[in-house]
Structure 1
Amino acid sequence: MTKEVKMTPVSTETRAALAEVMTAFEAFKSANDQRLGEIEKRASADILLEDKVSRIDAALDQQKTALDRLLLDQQRPAVSGTDKLNNPGWQRYVRQGDVAAFQEAKSLNAGTAGEGGYVVPQETEALIDRQLAEASPLRAIASVRSSSAAVFRKPVSRGGAASGWVTETAARPETTSPDLDLLDFPAAELYAMPAATQQLLDDAMVDIDQWLADEIRDVFAAQESAAFISGDGVNKPRGFLSYTCNVEGGQAWGELGYVATGVEGGFAATDPGDALIDLIYAPKNAYRASGRFLMNRRTVSAVRRFKDADGNYLWQPGLSEAGTSTLLGYPVSEAEDMPDIAANASAIAFGDFRKGYLIIDRQGVEVLRDPFSAKPYVLFYTTKRVAGGVQDFDAIKLLKFSAA
C-alpha cells in the first residue's frame, strides 16, 4: 500500500474559521478586561457583564472546535487509488454473509468454542486506526505501537548504571549494572456492535469499510479516551491518573509527581498563573522541550482568563492555519475525560506524552456478522484489543487543586 502525504492548500472555509476564532478572542479579551476593571474598582463585576463574558467564552469554544475539525480534515493523508480495498471475499462476507470466498478465519473468543469471526483486511484496519487517531485526544499525543502478543512487555532502566574516565591503555574496571524493571501492558478487548439494514449493504455505492470505521470511531474513541486517562487497568488500559501521585520531588518509581495550586479546589486569587509556571518547570528540560498541556474545555475556559504581570493573556489561539491554541507558549490538548477543577482533583496534566504514555494496538480487528439477533438489522460485532499505561513516570506531571 502506498500513501501520499502532501500539504493541502488552506481552504477558504479554514481561513474564515480562523478569522472567527481571532475575532471572538478579541471580543473575549475586551469584555474580560472590562470585567476585571470592575472587580478592581468595586470588588465585583456586574452580573450582565459576567454573563456576557461567559457567552463569548462559550462561543469561542464552539468556533475553536469547528476550526480544529477543519484542520483535522485538512491534514488527513491523501490516499491514492491503489489504496482502495479490492478484497471480494471480505466484501461478500460483509454484504451477504458469504464465507466461502473468505480466506482468513479466526476465532473471536479463544475461550468459547463455536464463536467465530473474521479478521478485517489490513486496509480496513488502517482506516479504523486512522479514524481513532483523529477522534481520541490521547492517541494524537501519545506513543502508539502495534503488537501481536496478548501482553506487551517493555524493560526500562531505573538508573544506577555507572561510568568513568580512562586513558587509552588503562584498565577498564567493571561498573555497576543498571537497575532494570519490566513494565507489562496487557491487552484488553474493546467491542462495538454497529447495525445496518440489508438494503444498505446491498447498495454497491456505499463504501462499507468507511461506514464501518465511521460507526465504531466515536464508540471506540470515547471508551479509549476514558481508559487512557483514568482507567483502572482491569479489563481496560490503565490511565495515567490511576497511578499513585506524590508531591513533586518526593515521588518514588511508579508514581507521578504533582504540583499543588496552594488553594483547595481552585487557583490562588492573586497571580493564578504561577501554579501553571511551576507545573511547566516540574519536568526536566528533556521532557519540557516537547511538553503540552492536557485538560478539559471547562478548565480551558478558566485559564483563558488569566493574564501575566504585563497584562498579556496566558492563553492564545493558534495564529496560523496549522497552529493550535497555546498556554504560556505550550500547546493545549483538550480531553473531556480530564476531571473538572475541584478539591484535590488533578485537572491539568503537562509533559511529553509521547515519551510518557504508551498505547499498544494488538494487530487484528475482528468482525462477526450477525443477521439473526436483531432482525431485520444486521449486526457487526467488532472487536479490537488495546493496552495502555505510563512508560516514563518522569515525563508527565500533574497540577493538583489542593493546599499542599
Structure 2
Amino acid sequence: MDIDIDRLPADRGPVASPETKAGPEARLTLDDFMRTFEAYKQVNDARLGQIERRGAADPLTEDRLARIDATLIEHQRRVDELALKGARPAFGRDAADEPAGREHKAAFDAYVRKGDATGLLAVERKALSVGAAPDGGYLVPPEVEHEIGRRLADVSPIRAIAGSRTVSASVYKKPFMTAGPTVGWIGETEARPQTATPALAELSFPTMELYAMPAATATLLDDAMVDIEAWLASEVDQAFAEQEGAAFVSGDGVNKPKGFLAYPTVANAAWSWGSIGVVASGAAGAFPASHPADVLIDLADALRAGYRRNAVFVMNRRTESTVRKFKDSTGQYLWSPGLAAGQPATLLGHPVVVDDAMPDIAAGALAIAFGDFRRGYLVVDRAGVRVLRDPYSAKPYVLFYTTKRVGGGVQDFDAIKLLKFAAS
C-alpha cells in the first residue's frame, strides 16, 4: 500500500496569536492530525501484513511509518499548545478591583518598574505579614499568584492530574489509613467481639524552594502599556513547570519533591504499603514479540477497580509512538486520538497523559505508569510567590528572582502501578 508522505498535511508555519486565531487554528490542526492518523493506520496495516506474509516488514514501509509518526507527534504538540493557549484564563479582576487589591497592585507595579518598595512595605505591614523573607523579596498580588498556579496546572502534566494542597507551613503532614478497622456480620443478639483498630501512617511532604529569574530591559519596564503582572506570570510559568514536572516524576526528594518513580517498587503480586507495584513486560527493554498489547491490559487490571474509574496512562511521546501501533484481537487500534482540541488521546478507554520526563523504553525502565493520580500523588504548594528585583547583577538588564515553595510525593501507594520493561 503506497502512501505519499508529501501529500500529508503540511506544517502551517508559526502559530498565530492565540487571542485572534487559537480557535480556528486549533480546529485546522486537529483536522490535519486526524487525516495523518488515518494515513498512519493504513501504513501500519500494510506493515503488519508484510510481517505476517514474510516474517519482516519492508524497510521502506518502516521508514514511511516513522515519518508519519513524526508528523503525528508534531501535530499533537501543536494541538496541545493551541488548546493550552486558548484555555488560559484572563486575569481575574475581582480581587484587583477591591481597594486593598488595587493598592497592592499599584505598589507591586512601582516596585517592579522603578524598584520603589515603599508601597509594598506599607501593604504587607497592614496585612500583618513580614515584608522581607530571609532571601528578600516581596509577595506578588494574589491574582498574579493564582494565575501562575493556573498556568502551572495547564503546563505541568503531573500537576494537572495530581491531588493538590496549599499550606502556610513549610511541611504538610497527613495521616493515612493503611488498614481499616476489622468489621463483620453478626446476629442481632450475639456478643460483639472487640475489633482491631485501624493502622495509620503519617505522610510528610516538605516544601522546597523553586525559582526562576526572568530578565527585563529598561525599555520594557518604562513602557506603561505593558502589563507587568501578565509578563511576569508568562515568564516564570514555563520555567517553574519544567523544573517541577521532572521532579514530580523522578525527583529524589533532596531539595526537590519526590517523584513517584523514586519510591521502592515491588512485583504487584507481592505489593505492600510503602512500595509501588510493578508489572513486568516479559521482555528486557521491549514489549513481548507476540501479543504486546496484553501487557497493557495486565497493567490496567493490576489496579484495583475503585481506582480505575479516574485512572490515566502516563508515558512520553516516544513510548506513545510504540503503543500507537497496537491492535486488539478484532483488529481495532487500542490507541485513539482525542476528538477535539484539548482532549487527550485514549488507550484502552483511559486518557493518555504525555510527559516527556518519563523514561524511554529500555531494559529495566519504568516507562509507563497507570493509576488514579488524583488520589495517588499529592502536590503541596506553600502560599505565596516572592519577587526580588535585582538591577545590579546583569546590567543593563533587570533580573527578577522569583521563588515559590512546592513539595510532592506519593500519598496512596495502591493508586499507581508501573510497567517495567524486564523479563520478570
Q: Quote the sequence identity (%).
A: 55
Work out whether 1:22 is the aligned partner of 2:40: no
Alpha-carbon separation, structure 2, partners of 1:322 and 1:369: 36
Q: Secondary structure at the match of 1:11?
A: helix
Deviations 1:33-88 (A, max 9, x none): 11111222222222222111101001011111111222223333455554557321
Partner of 1:401: 421
Q: Does 1:108 align with 2:133?
A: yes
The 8 Å contact of residues 91 and 143 in structure 2, kept in 1 or not, is answered as no
Aligned position for 2:127? none
- Does 2:86 align with 1:74? yes
TM-score relative to the length of structure 1: 0.92
Matching residue of 1:52? 64
Q: For the residues of structure 2 that align with 1:150 and 1:134, how far apart are their CA atoms?
A: 25
Matched, 1:356 2:376: yes
TM-score between the two structures when normalised by the length of structure 2? 0.88
State how far apart, in whole Å, the 1-side matches of 2:37 and 2:95 are. Answer: 41
Corresponding residue for residue 112 of structure 2: 94
1:269 alignment partner, SS class: coil
Encode CA deviations 1:349-386: one digit per residue, 9 max, x unaligned. 00100000000000111111111111111111111100
Q: Deviations over 1:233-276 (max 9, x none)?
A: 01100000000000002122100000001001000111000000
Q: What residue in structure 2 maps to residue 63 of structure 1?
A: 75
SS in 2 for 1:116: coil
> How well do the aligned residues superpose, as a CA RMSD in angstroms?
1.9
TM-aligned CA deviation for residue 302 of structure 1: 0.5
The answer on 1:344 being equivalent to 2:356 is no
Aligned residue number for residue 3 of structure 1: none
SS in 2 for 1:369: strand
Please list every run of 5 or more consecutive structure 2 residues that lacks an aligned counterpart in the other structure: 1-21, 125-129
Alignment of 1:191 with 2:211, yes or no, is yes
Runs of 4 or more, structure 1, over 6 Å off, are 167-171
Amino acid at match of 1:68: D
Between the aligned partners of 1:169 and 1:195, the Cα distance in structure 2 is 76
Distance 2:344 2:157 in 1: 13
The alignment partner of 2:314 has SS state of strand
Residue deviations 1:299-357, cap 9 Å, x none? 00000011111111111101234532011111000000100000010000001000000
Question: Taking structure 1 as reference, are residues 379 and 321 closer, same or farther at Cα in structure 2, changes over 3 Å only?
Answer: closer
Cα distance in 1, alignment partners of residues 266 and 297 from structure 2:
19
SS of residue in 1 equivalent to 2:82: helix
TM-aligned CA distance change 1:176 to 1:34, over 3 Å: same
Q: Distance in 1 between matches of 2:274 and 2:329?
A: 37
Verify the 8 A CA contact 2:280 2:419 in the aligned structure 1.
Answer: yes
| Match in the other structure for 1:388 | 408
**Between structures 1 and 2, the one with greater helix share:** 2
The one-letter amino acid of 1:204's match is A
Asked if structure 1 preserves the Cα contact closer than 8 Å seen for 2:91 and 2:147, the reply is no
TM-superposition CA deviations, 1:146-187 (whole Å, max 9, x none): 001111000000114122446778775543210101000011
Aligned equivalent of 2:176, options 156, 159, 166: 156
User: Cα–Cα, structure 1 residues 172 and 106, in superposed 2: closer, same or farther, change >3 Å?
Assistant: farther
Once residues 152 and 195 of structure 2 are traced to their aligned partners in structure 1, the CA distance between those partners, rounded to angstroms, is 46
Distance of aligned partners of 1:216 and 1:41 in 2 relative to their CA distance in 1, 3 Å threshold: same
Q: Deviations over 1:185-229 (max 9, x none)?
A: 011111111111111111111111111111111211111011000
**Does the Cα contact within 8 Å between 2:276 and 2:416 map onto a contact in 1?**
yes
Question: Aligned partners of 2:195, 2:94: CA distance in 1, in Å?
Answer: 55
Instruction: Please name the residue that 2:256 is paired with.
Output: 236
Amino acid at match of 1:94: V
1:133 corresponds to which of 153, 175, 185: 153
Matched to 2:80, the amino acid is D
Question: For this pair of structures, how many residues does the alignment match?
Answer: 391
Tell which deviates more after alignment, 358-367 or 155-164. 155-164
Distance 1:164 1:269, change over 3 A: closer
Structure 1 CA distance for aligned equivalents of residues 316 and 132 of structure 2: 39
Q: Is 272-281 or 33-42 further displaced after alignment? A: 33-42
Q: Which residue is 1:292 aligned to? A: 312
Residue 258 of structure 1 corresponds to which residue in structure 2? 278
| 1:349 partner letter | A
- In the alignment, structure 1 segments of 5+ residues that lack a partner are 1-9, 110-114
The 1:156/1:195 distance shift into structure 2, 3 A limit, reads: same
Task: Give 1:36's aligned amino acid.
Answer: L
